[in-house]
Chains A and B, each alone.
Chain A
Amino acid sequence: MVKSLKPSTLEEALKMKTDNPDAIIYAGGSDLMVAKKVSQEILFINQLVELKEVCEDEEFLIIGASSIYFDLIENPLIPELLKQVLKDIASPAIRNVATIGGNICNASPAGDSLPALYLFDAKIIATSLDDNNQISERMIPIENFILGIRKIDLRPNEIVTKILLPKDKISVTTKMGYKKVGARKSQAISKLLFVAAMNIENDKVTDLRIAYGSVGITTLRRKDIESHYIGIKYNELLTKIPEIIEEYRECLHPIDDQRSTAVYRKKVCLNLLEDFLNECK
């Protein structure tokens, strides 16, 4: 029979993970129970309140990895764009259990919170106990943490405990764009998901970020393309829209699958980008 590990503190959970490196971590269960993964041990972290805290320091908004979508949607500290994304995931019953850390660690190409987290330059905190039983944290940028389809940079003795959002990336003065395209409003796995951010100061583009989900193995974000257009006048950017569209046309490689076609996905991705760029006036 499967062994149940029920820690009452984070430290205990880390000790259990060190002793049982193959244990499956159960946070919300909504992906895990569908995937029907098997292991000899399940580590239930769903009741660890330490992993559900949301707070901030000078530099970061700090989101506990086991924070449930429903609670994040209700939390005034969470950026509006992320709330919108979370509200559009699955159904009320799923949003009542699913966790943000779970969405990250599941590393699905269609994980809907991921493009927003890439947009915010999220950092993942992987925590473990070191040889002296001291808590040790590793900070990994999300784009390095997610390695591929269901592949993440998490060691067997580690648990993802926090997600950090740099405060300068969630500034309220930045214009945000978001669109999820799915077959219906609820319970839809995205055909594609688009998020973007632009900040204009004195007619000058001071920030531009663009990310796409469900159109590649991992979220697509091209900081190199973005950087070409930071520092120019917004009116100049408007004249460069065809060029920007061309750059993204070349790097977007969606696939045909049961949910959509490559042609449709690419076309809609580029249209959404064009609309966003035009509407940032």
Chain B
Amino acid sequence: MVEFSLNNEKVKYSGDPSKRLLDVLREKFLLTGVKEGCGEGECGACSVLINGRLTNSCITAIGSLEGTSVITVEGFKNTKQYQLLEETFAKAGAVQCGFCTPGMIMAAQALLLSNAKPTQEDIREAISGNICRCTGYNMIIDAIKMAAEQGEGLW
């Protein structure tokens, strides 16, 4: 049995402790914002925040999460920070197929939480574990920069 907080609600899981957090989120909790790309921590499509830190849910065993706080893009959605990122991602054209977007948003949030005024290099570094095969990254970097500039006091 593992007890942890998922999107700010206490949850319990009593299945196989070696199961990937990714699968538990999608199959048990029906949170399909987390995507499986590579399944080995290379692409970032499954990114979530665990205790505020960006983490790949595909290489996290559910049994390791006792007492932690897990936030997925669904849990992040009802915040002003998310709303601004959604707006700037749309404005900058940072979304094409959208498969990487939930992970990119979580990577952006992890960055802005620790560094509200990132340089372009900081942004590139922050999303360096998130692969996007559509945009060529520049629009995503613009979107995060825009959010940082417009988000005075949000982070």
Does any Cβ of B come within 8 Å of A84's Cβ?
Answer: no
What is the interface residue range for chain A against chain B? 20 to 34
Does any Cβ of A come within 8 Å of B74's Cβ?
Answer: no
Does any Cβ of A come within 8 Å of B58's Cβ?
Answer: yes
- Whole-angstrom CA separation of A30 from B55 in the bound complex: 10
**Is B54's CB under 8 angstroms from A187's CB?**
no
**Is A91's CB under 8 angstroms from B44's CB?**
yes
A residues less than 8 Å from B20 (CB atoms)? 33
Contact A93-B40, Cβ < 8 Å, known A2-B18, A4-B17: no
**Is B54's CB under 8 angstroms from A6's CB?**
no
Does any Cβ of B come within 8 Å of A156's Cβ?
Answer: no
Encode contact with A along B113-135: 1 for CB under 8 Å, 0 otherwise.
00000000000011011100000
**Is A6's CB under 8 angstroms from B66's CB?**
yes
Give the total of B residues in contact with A, Cβ under 8 Å: 31
Main secondary structure of the interface of B (DSSP, over half): mixed
Picked from B18, B40, B53, B126, the residue with its CB within 8 Å of the CB of A42 is B18
Contact A93-B41, Cβ < 8 Å, known A33-B61, A186-B128: yes
Picked from A26, A90, A186, A187, the residue with its CB within 8 Å of the CB of B63 is A26
- Whole-angstrom CA separation of A185 from B18 in the bound complex: 31
Contact A93-B66, Cβ < 8 Å, known A1-B16, A34-B40: no
Picked from A1, A6, A29, A47, the residue with its CB within 8 Å of the CB of B60 is A29
Picked from B2, B56, B67, the residue with its CB within 8 Å of the CB of A93 is B56
- Whole-angstrom CA separation of A90 from B128 in the bound complex: 9
B residues less than 8 Å from A6 (CB atoms)? 63, 66
Does any Cβ of A come within 8 Å of B110's Cβ?
Answer: yes
Picked from A44, A97, A185, A186, the residue with its CB within 8 Å of the CB of B55 is A97
- Whole-angstrom CA separation of A116 from B74 in the bound complex: 41
B residues less than 8 Å from A113 (CB atoms)? none
- Whole-angstrom CA separation of A204 from B18 in the bound complex: 55
Encode contact with B along A136-154: 1 for CB under 8 Å, 0 otherwise.
0000000000000000000
CB closest chain-A residue, reference B63: A4
Does any Cβ of B come within 8 Å of A96's Cβ?
Answer: yes
CB closest chain-B residue, reference A185: B128
Contact A97-B60, Cβ < 8 Å, known A47-B66, A91-B129, A92-B125: yes
Question: Residues of A at under 8 Å CB distance from B?
Answer: 1-4, 6, 26, 29-30, 32-34, 38, 42, 44, 46-47, 70, 90-94, 96-97, 185-187
Query: Can you list 12 A-B pairs with a CB-CB distance of less than 8 A?
Result: A2-B16, A2-B63, A6-B63, A6-B66, A26-B64, A29-B60, A33-B41, A33-B58, A44-B63, A46-B64, A90-B129, A186-B128
The 9 closest A-B pairs by CB, nearest first: A91-B129, A186-B128, A4-B17, A33-B59, A96-B53, A4-B63, A34-B40, A2-B18, A93-B54
Known: A30-B56, A47-B66. 12 other contacts (CB 8 A): A2-B17, A6-B66, A29-B59, A30-B41, A33-B59, A92-B125, A92-B126, A93-B47, A93-B129, A94-B41, A94-B129, A97-B53
